[in-house]
A and B are shown apart, each in its own frame.
Chain A
Amino acid sequence: MTPAKLRYFLREALHNLWQFKTRHVFSLTIICFSFVTVGVVLSLSGNLRAKAGELSKNLTVIVYLKKDAPPADRDAAEAAVRSSPLIGSVRAVGPDQALDRFRTNFPDLRDILQNLGTNPFPTSIEAGLKDAGVPAERVLGFIAEVRKLAAVEDVQYNREWAGKVRALGRLVEAVGFFLGGILILASFFIISNVIKLNVLARRSEIEILRLVGATNTFIRVPFLIEGVVMGIAGAGLSLLIVLALIKSFPLYLGSSLGALQEIIAFRYLSVSQVFGLLGGGGLVGFLGSLSSIGRFLKI
């Protein structure tokens, strides 16, 4: 393809997009809406995956001690935890320290604490695993041993949380991609129909091109470019909207979510995701256009 021909095709495609702008704006809106859905899903699930990753990196066993346990028993429990070959770091957290931490992390729930009147938090021992890749059975065996100690009230292990957060991320992805998939399919049909209308509107022009010896490719390429431009523009617009959501969400809605803010939060899309969405838009536009000219532009 010569540069002159390419220039001609681009000019024709852009001219045609402008000529039938109402229908193109309509289809652009639908494409944009579809890709916003996918973008939001990617952003939310990206956040959940990252949270799960953080939790997995810092696997911790938290041992809660009985409030009325004698100091000797407490010391024995801490010594037992420290002596385990699975444990890399041990940190004792007193009730006051736990209370401060709660107040900092969950400011919305301060009132509950005030109503209680007393500090409900027990002393705990936070034991970080030496190696994140240690088999779960060994950790569970260690937890079972610790539970048997006289001073121990309860033991929590955050690997379960990491698994739960990861599963939630997968669920959000599955639901989002299902919805996004349906909307993208709708975009495909809309592009296909818009191009079909364009072909019908330019029937006499196509006829003239055929009579002056235009090849099928020469006639078809501007329609394909129209579809690709619509797809990329729709996806590009959706990226801007997703960016606006990422920026505005913490300002307008984030604080009202309270403790859920960590889980329901938008994360910036990666460069590969951005190019993936733009490429996806272009592909949907190309295929929509191709299906239409395949059926309605038989030359």
Chain B
Amino acid sequence: MIELYHVWKRYQKASWALSDVSLTIPNGEFCFITGPSGSGKSTLIKTLYREVVPTEGQVIIGGRNILRIPNHKIHRIRRHMGIVFQDFRLLPHKRVFENVAIALRVLGAPPKDLKRKVFIALRMVSLQSKIWDFPTELSYGEQQRVAIARAVVNNPRILLADEPTGNLDPALAHEIFTLFKEINAQGTTVVICTHDRELIRRFGGRVLSLHEGKLRERDAE
């Protein structure tokens, strides 16, 4: 479960990026965070994996207040999360296999287990045939699918996606969201940050809307 209590965030002397945000996302939920550019969507999602530390408030993930975890132990929380970005963040000089395997290597997975899990993750995103390609040899849609495979390869409890379809055309975006739905169907909590109202309308789910850092909830419709 994800819980935020009275979270405020201000970058230096700028206006508030998050303003008294409180929310609860139960396990297994499929949830959108939406709003116009600069509304605080990315800041909110970054607070969930503690890339951003709130100015005030509490962030509780799986019953643990992640703001009280020392920096050198934050990896323990991140190992239960998968994170997908708009710019994919793949390692260009490493093959698809290694890009996905890195999430298991940090856990010290044995080689046999690692190969099996990477293959399963790539099969899930239909990229098993591209396992030895480099990311630069793939289309944008394929690169994002590799990023999703990396995010889910260690069966995370939470999947966070920050504008995952921002660089993709509508057909590919639909494909990616279908994947997120499938992942969610397996019990993973999925939180997607997007401003694409059409996709939200099509896929449905809980919608948290941000405007100038303030949160309000609305229907997918």
If A214-B106, A299-B72 touch, does A19 touch B93 (CB 8 Å cutoff)?
Answer: yes
Q: Which of A212-227 contact B (CB under 8 A)?
A: 212-216, 218
If A215-B75, A299-B71, A299-B72 touch, does A209 touch B106 (CB 8 Å cutoff)?
Answer: yes
The answer to the question of A208 belonging to the interface, with a C-beta cut-off of 8 Å to chain B, is yes
Which residue of the partner chain, among A208, A213, A215, contacts B89 with CB atoms under 8 Å?
A: A208
Q: Mark A170-212, 1 if CB is under 8 A from B, else 0.
A: 0000000000000000000000000000000000110111111
CB–CB A204/B103 < 8 A? no
CA A4 to CA B109, docked complex, whole Å: 8
* Residue in B90, B106, B109, B110 with the greatest tally of chain A CB atoms within 10 Å: B106
CA A5 to CA B111, docked complex, whole Å: 10
**B50 CB to closest chain A CB, in angstroms?**
10
Cβ–Cβ < 8 Å partners of A299 in chain B: 71-72
Cβ–Cβ < 8 Å partners of A249 in chain B: none
Q: Which of A1-39 contact B (CB under 8 A)?
A: 2, 4-5, 8, 19
CB–CB A208/B91 < 8 A? yes
The answer to the question of B158 belonging to the interface, with a C-beta cut-off of 8 Å to chain A, is no
**B14 CB to closest chain A CB, in angstroms?**
23
CB–CB B75/A214 < 8 A? yes
CA A204 to CA B102, docked complex, whole Å: 14
The answer to the question of B107 belonging to the interface, with a C-beta cut-off of 8 Å to chain A, is yes
Cβ–Cβ < 8 Å partners of B114 in chain A: 4
Closest to B156 in A: A213
CB–CB B71/A213 < 8 A? no
CA A205 to CA B98, docked complex, whole Å: 12
CB–CB A218/B106 < 8 A? yes
CA A207 to CA B51, docked complex, whole Å: 10
The segment out of B76-84, B123-131, B176-184, B197-205 that lies at the interface is: B76-84
Which residue of the partner chain, among B79, B83, B91, contacts A205 with CB atoms under 8 Å?
A: B91
Q: Mark B57-94, 1 if CB is under 8 A from A, else 0.
A: 00000000000000110011111010100000111010
Interface size of A as a range: 10 to 19
Cβ–Cβ < 8 Å partners of B77 in chain A: 213
If A8-B105, A216-B72, A299-B72 touch, does A211 touch B110 (CB 8 Å cutoff)?
Answer: no
**A216 CB to closest chain B CB, in angstroms?**
6
Cβ–Cβ < 8 Å partners of B75 in chain A: 210, 213-215
Number of A-B contacts (CB under 8 A): 53
Cβ–Cβ < 8 Å partners of A216 in chain B: 72
CB–CB A212/B150 < 8 A? yes
Cβ–Cβ < 8 Å partners of A205 in chain B: 91
**B17 CB to closest chain A CB, in angstroms?**
20
Cβ–Cβ < 8 Å partners of A2 in chain B: 108, 110
If A204-B89, A299-B71, A299-B72 touch, does A212 touch B108 (CB 8 Å cutoff)?
Answer: no
CB–CB B79/A213 < 8 A? yes
CA A205 to CA B75, docked complex, whole Å: 16
Cβ–Cβ < 8 Å partners of B106 in chain A: 209, 212-215, 218
CB–CB B78/A5 < 8 A? no
**B75 CB to closest chain A CB, in angstroms?**
4
Closest to B93 in A: A19
Q: Which of B12-43 contact A (CB under 8 A)?
A: none
CA A150 to CA B40, docked complex, whole Å: 110
CB–CB A211/B89 < 8 A? yes
CB–CB A4/B108 < 8 A? yes
**B158 CB to closest chain A CB, in angstroms?**
12
**B95 CB to closest chain A CB, in angstroms?**
12
CA A212 to CA B114, docked complex, whole Å: 15
CA A209 to CA B75, docked complex, whole Å: 10
Q: Which of A244-299 contact B (CB under 8 A)?
A: 299
The answer to the question of B119 belonging to the interface, with a C-beta cut-off of 8 Å to chain A, is no
Cβ–Cβ < 8 Å partners of A207 in chain B: 89
Cβ–Cβ < 8 Å partners of B103 in chain A: 212-213
Q: Can you list 30 A-B contacts with CB-CB less than 8 angstroms, sorted by A residue number?
A: A2-B108, A2-B110, A4-B105, A4-B109, A4-B110, A4-B111, A5-B108, A205-B91, A208-B91, A208-B102, A209-B102, A210-B75, A210-B78, A211-B49, A211-B51, A211-B78, A212-B78, A212-B79, A212-B102, A213-B75, A213-B76, A213-B77, A213-B78, A213-B79, A213-B107, A215-B72, A215-B75, A216-B72, A218-B106, A299-B72
Nearest first, the 9 closest Cβ-Cβ pairs linking A and B are: A213-B79, A213-B78, A214-B106, A212-B103, A213-B75, A215-B75, A2-B108, A211-B83, A4-B111
20 additional A-B pairs beyond A4-B108, A212-B78, beta carbons within 8 Å, are A4-B110, A4-B114, A8-B105, A204-B89, A208-B102, A210-B75, A210-B78, A211-B78, A211-B83, A211-B89, A212-B83, A213-B76, A213-B77, A213-B79, A213-B81, A213-B103, A214-B75, A215-B72, A215-B106, A216-B72
